[in-house]
Structure 1
């Protein structure tokens, strides 16, 4: 457990956008700024490290008693603002033993708490240090190039300023590609004209889930899922406009063509789709930050685009179809494998996407709280340990930055680290909390029949703050 305890005491994270009225969906915007070397190396850097903010842990502190926890939590869970359908589970992180359960085996809509499961699945499948590469390879015809998408959800087509998180850039890729073409041309002069195609076949299936509201893409909640996309698929990045392009891969290709032209490489004709030749070696490539940094971005900002890409990467790594069905089966399967003894409820778990936008998703509070306990017990170097630093800290970071700042919930500020979730009629929260005696606990609270979103959020925060304040015997 020592490594897990150390991880909990660090509040890591690049600054994330503020939460929208729906914290389950990241506000659209440009990827975090930064710089990265052109060419082949992974983007240098990742999340920065903030000072410790969570309370001191005491490995010798006793776990709270189930009776005391029930006495503290039962009245708060009965708050009418949480509605009639609420589940809650509290687990001792050191032992994995449930200490409090209320309808913990009842499947409910998890909203963006789904991203906790997505994080676990991709960390298991790829490991925290893997990077996602976007490359340019020679096409099948002379004088043709293919821009190959590697499913990097933070790829940008813009110049970047120094920052903690350093996304890969098509600007760097264009620089490196133009340099290679000039070198090959040699004394003959500048680069010869090229035809450009895009290959986004790493992912398959529709760009929008059948279970999503038809308005999600149009409203800017998420872009069509694609293995090649720049700037979150935004039509006008950097303007504050959330509108997304209809075909992110072709739009990224057009941006790359414009960058090549700016560097003296004539691009003839329109950008089209074409398969990269089998075994083609990259002329140039750029790499994303490590998966651990992408997971942190996803959890801090509740970034739907990152979540959908990471769920598909988990599916690809496990040999499943890289579509919504394959990704959902992969993430659900990872949860069942990590958390044993869920009983009959294990068969009722279901994920139809990686972000939590689908109202058809079903998780139990038992499964999520126990998964977080497994992540906290990954001190033997298991990949799930990288999940925990990405969770927002109450009153300090991510989608919890403006919560736990007043009223009874203030006792949880700095002591709660959790993933938020919100859809119409759904309010959820799952993470870790340090209690009044210094014991580390994990929890999940899922309410999926609420009528007042703000009231439900405040009520939920009071529940978790009560765990932080509890010295329950």
Structure 2
């Protein structure tokens, strides 16, 4: 395989994303992998990203689509799903008429970052699309305290803004009490911090805790992200004391900055499969509901009629090896999003990566017919490959699919899953 220096394939972010528009943005690596995957895949040189014309409207009324030989499609899918290169494969494919094909769809498997689909759906049900997170700084005497509220999207420019508004101080504290959940979740590998896949979950970070000024990608992350924010502000205001501490109850608010709006954050989180962002959004949902993450995600989905039986959620990102999700639930979420009659969860579609176009699918699909038409959330851990999304066929049928492969080679399973999704494009 071609080697490259880690972190050199980064690109500047362009907003907004839109359904039906392919943004040619390359990203390095795939978030949500373990250290082995980082070593084996993290140094691939993806080259220039693919650019294509707008493929058209994803959502087509079922009545306008041509009839399909469902028996032939089912047989084609059955044959592909039986490929031993897919290891243990559980899958469901649906359209407006119902289930097209399924294989152990009610049985859960390790989903990896396909878990983020549930987190995003819960966020859309719970929060406003333009919701932001406010980070305030309060002053008591000559000391400043940052009231961390969950914004892991802070930038050095926003720290500059805070410093300009606050003026000089002798001490800077950061209050991290907004997140009562654990800072490191069951089933995570501590090496994943240095591997660039996650940081200790503290409710304020600069660029998701990435080190060395990196904006995105799987680059090493800080072990003390909240203190890093406090130190950055201290450096700007001349403070010599930096520590974690509770904000005084009646202290004056002297500065405030806001995160990007929810939809921008969701697209960033989903397309690039960023684990820190997913955990932050999961906890944002929990704070809005008055509960704890990730249980708040399951409670939200249950309240909106989804069957969450068989699900085990340890985190909101899918990085935990103890997460378990049946494909049936993931496909149900996509069916709700693609329904032409409700518009419910429609915004979820714009967060999905486009095959051969952007996000974690930018370097996949080659000459497959699904290129530019498949929109999906990927999932990758050692031995796990998942693909959950939607595709409009050549004759106008809209399919949703949820495929999880465990106990398989990553690159091989990815190729087989992409072939299955492209088969749907043909019908």
Q: TM-score range by the shorter chain?
A: 0.7 to 0.9
Q: In structure 1, what is the equivalent of residue 284 of structure 2?
A: 313
Alpha-carbon shift at residue 15 of structure 1 (Å)? 3.7
Work out whether 1:413 is the aligned partner of 2:371: yes
CA distance in 2, matches of 1:120, 1:378: 17
Of 61, 64, 74, 2:65 maps to 61
Q: In structure 2, what is the equivalent of residue 232 of structure 1?
A: 208
Q: In structure 1, what is the equivalent of residue 253 of structure 2?
A: 282
Q: In structure 2, what is the equivalent of residue 396 of structure 1?
A: 357
Q: In structure 2, what is the equivalent of residue 304 of structure 1?
A: 275
With the length of structure 2 as denominator, give the TM-score of the two structures: 0.85
Matches within 5 A, 1:61-460: 61-62=65-66, 64=68, 66-83=70-87, 85-92=88-95, 94=96, 97-139=98-140, 142-157=141-156, 159=157, 169-178=158-167, 191=168, 193-238=169-214, 242-260=219-237, 266-267=238-239, 269-278=240-249, 280-320=251-291, 326-340=292-306, 342=307, 346-377=308-339, 382=344, 384-406=345-367, 410-450=368-408, 452-460=409-417
> Contact between 1:53 and 1:414, CA under 8 Å: does it hold in 2?
yes
CA distance in 2, matches of 1:153, 1:463: 36
Q: Which runs of 5+ in 1 are unaligned?
A: 1-6, 29-49, 160-168, 179-190, 261-265, 321-325
Q: Which runs of 5+ in 2 are unaligned?
A: 1-16, 43-51
**CA distance 1:129–1:416, change in 2 (3 Å):** same
> Contact between 2:31 and 2:275, CA under 8 Å: does it hold in 1?
no
Q: In structure 1, what is the equivalent of residue 5 of structure 2?
A: none
CA distance in 2, matches of 1:466, 1:72: 8
CA distance in 2, matches of 1:422, 1:289: 27
Residues 366-414 of structure 1: CA distance to partner in whole angstroms, max 9, x if unpaired? 11011111122387565x22221010000111111111113xxx11011
With the length of structure 1 as denominator, give the TM-score of the two structures: 0.77
CA distance in 1, matches of 2:423, 2:213: 42
Helix, strand or coil for the counterpart of 1:271?
A: strand
> Contact between 1:57 and 1:439, CA under 8 Å: does it hold in 2?
no
CA distance in 2, matches of 1:234, 1:125: 28
Helix, strand or coil for the counterpart of 1:222?
A: coil
Alpha-carbon shift at residue 430 of structure 1 (Å)? 0.2
> Contact between 2:25 and 2:357, CA under 8 Å: does it hold in 1?
no
CA distance in 1, matches of 2:284, 2:60: 38
**CA distance 1:19–1:55, change in 2 (3 Å):** farther
Alpha-carbon shift at residue 130 of structure 1 (Å)? 0.3
Helix, strand or coil for the counterpart of 2:353?
A: coil
> Contact between 1:149 and 1:199, CA under 8 Å: does it hold in 2?
yes
Higher percent of residues as strand: 2
Residues 316-374 of structure 1: CA distance to partner in whole angstroms, max 9, x if unpaired? 11111xxxxx312112223333444x4xxx32111111111111111111110111111
Q: In structure 1, what is the equivalent of residue 419 of structure 2?
A: 462
**CA distance 1:195–1:360, change in 2 (3 Å):** same
Alpha-carbon shift at residue 90 of structure 1 (Å)? 1.3
Aligned residues: 395
